[in-house]
Structure 1
Amino acid sequence: MAKQNATPYMISRRNFLKGAGILGLGVFGVASLSGCAPDSSSATGGSDSGKTVSVLTYNGNPPYCSLDKEGNLVGYDVDVLKAVDERLDDYSFDIDSMDFTAMITACESGSAELVSCQLVPSEERKEKFIFCEEPFCLSPMVFAVRDPNIKTLDDMAGLTTLSNPINYEYGMIENYNEKYPDKAIELKTTSDITMADAFKMVASGQVDSYSCYDGSFDAVNDEAGTGLYKTNVVLCESTYFMFNKEQTELRDAVDKVLKEMKGDGSLGKLAEQDLGVDVFTAYADVLSDNELMND
């Protein structure tokens, strides 16, 4: 097994970008963070034959990818990668971890063929990378609101919501408004604001709502002391494995396996194991970015 480093990065990439960090960086942009030195934490997949594929993830984003007490890479992304590796005869995954920005750079340069960190296929990224057709995860989203009676997208009609135009979520809501003009949500633009400050703007009445990941709501609401409520899960972001542009054959092979795993239920079982819920069945009826962004 490859050498593993027992010292994790302490800040979750998702929490950095969506919570404590500046939203102007954008969840889909390559954040302009200072690149740290590569981490040597790694985990081999199940295959021991075939072409070796350099796979990178970020080890500070639990429950998706992080280090356990022994310094082993663990989490949903890692388990899915290992399961895909088990089913691929022509490839063998060498899974390692790196600072988020360095990971993206490595994939662009070709020193890594595949990266995974709950990534969305933004227009900016699609210019530089290729993605599977099949998402390997769904991220449930809610709106932070002052009124506990606001639960659905229908309830959100005519209300204002705060979002940065460079964020993926802004595009989702914009497309939602185009698709459902009679239920449109008024977008109020912002930049350079933390998630906690966005919650405070909702609490003060400057704006009616703010979209966020369901799993982030409680921590930020407590941190900001805003006493807000959250809607039901009303939107889902689909997240994908991302590849160097030259790796079309690898991408197609991984995509085929993911579709098999989705069909036989094994992908949902891994989600239930690592995330506490089979996201593919639990959110099957929730409006997704695939429906909004690909029409």
Structure 2
Amino acid sequence: MHALLIVTAILLLLAGCGKEATQASAGGQSGSSAKTTPKVVKAALNTVPVPLFSYLDENNKPAGFMIDYLKELEKKLPDYKFEYESADNEGQLIGTDTGKYAFAANFWFKNPEREKKYLYPQQEFGYSITALAVKPERNDIKTLDDLVGKKLVPMTPVSGFRYILKDYNLNHPGKEIKIEDVEKTTPADDLKLVESGKYDAHLLNVVHFEDAVKKLNLNLKVGGIISKEPVYLLFNKNQTELAKIIDEKTVELIKDGTLPKLSEKWFRVDVFKSLEYVQQGYKFRKDG
């Protein structure tokens, strides 16, 4: 029910933004009877709230980096009207593949399997900051190199973090990190496995870590920030024109400082800067 309320509120908010953009476009033709009918584009939104990315705030209003990004994007695209529908990850992928949705608005990592079926834009709209969660007394796990010979919390087959490990293993033959499989899981359950001592570490998005630790009062820490993974909207293969236009507008939002400012607003660090900058920013905020 909570997830449904979140998605419903988000859909209403974004629908309102699209309406405003359309009215602004029509209003710009004062003195003329000609009105441009915006092209309707169906898009999928995730049903599961993601801390700081897309969720309901304390006033029960949609908030987050991706929500703000979509609102800014719609302002720049008055000739399009976006209609959003909620779907889980699998539903988003299937719907986008079949053409039910023009694109799926989520935090998609790029991997070879998805590139065969979907169209990725050239420009990422943000980054997922990847961290290693460990027990407070563990000072021996700070990088991926430190995971060799350790027990890492199992991952689902569709986890984007799995591809980080796969790439690492390809580049480190004979010193691979063992990857265990699990059908379904949550960040909270995964972190509990680390706290219990059953596993040495968990690889996850740092905002998921902070959210779960705060809500569950877990006795864990970030051993290290290891990467910033680009995240994308995911398009149907036939949506080349739309992907190109959104690409252009996303680049504009980065160059004019809009997305960097939104990043600082939500994550307290500009994720569009270097990994070293992000690592230092995170260290500062934890020490401070």
Tell me whether the two structures share a fold, i.e. TM-score over 0.5: yes
Moved more, 78-87 or 246-255: 78-87
Aligned length: 255
Between stretches 263-272 and 192-201, larger displacement belongs to 192-201
> 2:146 is aligned with what amino acid?
M
**Mean Cα deviation higher: 52-61 or 113-122:** 52-61
Residue of structure 2 in register with 1:96 after alignment: 84
RMSD, aligned α-carbons:
3.6
Aligned pair 1:111/2:105, yes or no?
A: no
Q: Distance in 2 between matches of 1:278 and 1:154?
A: 23
Amino acid in the other structure paired with 1:47: A
Distance 1:64 1:258 in 2: 17
Query: Aligned runs of 1:1-295 on 2, under 5 Å?
Result: 9=3, 41=12, 42-43=14-15, 44-45=17-18, 47-48=21-22, 49=25, 50-58=38-46, 60-67=49-56, 73-88=62-77, 91-100=79-88, 101-146=90-135, 147-150=137-140, 152-153=142-143, 156=146, 158-160=148-150, 161-164=152-155, 166=157, 167-180=159-172, 184=175, 186-192=177-183, 194=185, 195-221=187-213, 227-281=219-273, 283=275
Give 1:192 shift.
Answer: 3.7
1:34 corresponds to: none
Which has a greater percent of strand?
1
Residue 98 of structure 1: SS of its match in structure 2? strand
**TM-score, with length taken from structure 1:** 0.69
> Does the 8 Å contact 1:202/1:208 carry over to 2?
yes
Report the Cα distance in structure 1 between the residues aligned to 2:99 and 2:131, rounded to whole angstroms: 36
Could you say if the C-alpha distance between residues 159 and 260 of structure 1 is closer, same or farther in structure 2, counting changes exceeding 3 Å? farther
1:291 corresponds in structure 2 to none
More helix by share: 2
- Compare CA radii of gyration and give the structure with the larger one: 2
Cα distance, 1:63 vs structure 2: 2.8
1:249 deviates by: 0.7
User: Cα distance, 1:138 vs. partner?
Assistant: 0.7
Residue 35 of structure 2: aligned partner: none
Question: In the TM superposition, what is the alpha-carbon distance from 1:134 to its structure 2 partner?
Answer: 1.2
Instruction: Determine what percentage of the aligned residue pairs are the same residue.
Output: 23
Whether the aligned pair in 2 keeps the contact of 1:65 and 1:76 (CA below 8 Å) is: yes
Cα 1:142–1:11, aligned 2, differ >3 Å: closer, same or farther? farther
Q: Return the alpha-carbon distance in structure 2 between the equivalents of residues 268 and 274 of structure 1.
A: 10
Answer yes or no: is the 8 Å Cα contact 1:151–1:230 preserved in 2: no
Aligned partners of 2:42 and 2:83 also within 8 Å = yes
1:217 CA displacement: 2.0
Q: Provide, for residues 241-277 of structure 1, a one-character-per-residue CA deviation record: whole Å limited to 9, x for no partner.
A: 1112211011011112222322332211122223433
Shift of 1:205: 4.6
Unaligned 5+ runs, structure 2: 26-37, 280-288
What is the TM-score when the length of structure 2 is the normalising length? Answer: 0.71
1:162 alignment partner AA: V
Q: Distance in 1 between matches of 2:62 and 2:126?
A: 18
Q: In structure 1, what is the Cα distance between the partners aligned to 2:46 and 2:235? A: 15
Structure 1 74/94 Cα, relative in aligned 2: closer, same or farther at 3 Å? farther
For residues 106 and 170 of structure 2, the distance between their equivalents in structure 1, rounded to whole angstroms, comes to 30
- For 1:153, the aligned partner's letter is T
Give distance in 1, aligned partners of 2:86 and 2:222.
Answer: 34
| Partner AA of 1:247 in structure 2 | Q
